């Protein structure tokens, strides 16, 4: 008869509670991964359409794909990902401007990765774009949550202060 070894005295119910707590605690991240995947898919497909089908040079195709996928990403994040503890004190236009400001910062490594992968290493377009979207996706998650949540980053607070100062003058 085999002897059962228990490494922990945690009951199944307690384990379930801990799992639920973990999921709730990191809900935004898990949902962001799903919507981030959709945005990356939009980016990859639009890039493919512009570059491979319509023969637009990769740099311009990448920028067009960036604009389209980030408009979709803004909607996903605003209405699907960050829906709790939301910053309601700013307009949608303000959030969209801040969102694109951060995303323009991610366009720099995006284009660098595309240049290195396609022009220097001569890798397959799809492979380079997929790697690019993973790296950029991580950066985007870290910056995006500061736009929609009340706990804004220092950069967002600085921009808010500057906008208020300009309105006063």
What residue ranges do the domains of the chain occupy?
A: 23-163
- Tens of pLDDT, residue by residue over 29-49, are 788 888 889 999 999 999 999
- What is the rounded distance in angstroms from the CA atom of residue 80 to the CA atom of residue 98? 18
Which pLDDT does position 94 carry in this prediction? 84
- Tens of pLDDT, residue by residue over 79-89, are 877 666 566 76
- What is the rounded distance in angstroms from the CA atom of residue 108 to the CA atom of residue 35? 22
Which pLDDT does position 124 carry in this prediction? 93
23 pLDDT more than 80: no
State the Cα angle at 151 between 20 and 104, rounded to 5°.
Answer: 105
Helix (DSSP H) and strand (DSSP E) numbers for the chain: 6, 0
133 C-beta neighbours (distance < 10 Å), count: 24
Q: Model pTM greater than 0.85? A: no
Looking at per-residue pLDDT, the higher value among 121 and 83 belongs to: 121
Query: Best-predicted range by mean pLDDT among 27-41, 49-63, 91-105, 140-154?
Result: 49-63
118 C-beta neighbours (distance < 10 Å), count: 20
Task: Return the closest-CA partner of residue 65 out of 29, 94, 106, 30.
Answer: 106
Which pLDDT does position 95 carry in this prediction? 81
Which pLDDT does position 139 carry in this prediction? 86
């Amino acid at each position: 008869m085999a002897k059962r070894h228990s490494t922990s005295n945690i009951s199944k119910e307690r384990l379930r509670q801990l799992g639920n707590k973990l999921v709730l605690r990191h809900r935004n991240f898990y949902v962001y991964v799903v919507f981030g995947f959709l945005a990356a898919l939009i980016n990859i497909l639009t890039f493919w359409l512009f570059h491979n089908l319509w023969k637009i040079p990769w740099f311009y195709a990448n920028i067009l794909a960036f604009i389209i996928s980030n408009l979709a990403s803004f909607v996903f994040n605003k209405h699907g990902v960050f829906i709790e503890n939301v910053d309601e004190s700013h307009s949608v236009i303000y959030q969209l401007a801040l969102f694109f400001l951060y995303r323009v910062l991610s366009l720099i490594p995006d284009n660098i990765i595309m240049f290195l992968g396609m022009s220097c290493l001569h890798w397959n377009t799809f492979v380079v774009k997929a790697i690019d979207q993973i790296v950029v996706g991580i950066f985007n998650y870290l910056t995006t949550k500061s736009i929609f949540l009340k706990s804004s980053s220092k950069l967002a607070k600085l921009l808010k202060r500057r906008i208020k100062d300009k309105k006063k003058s």
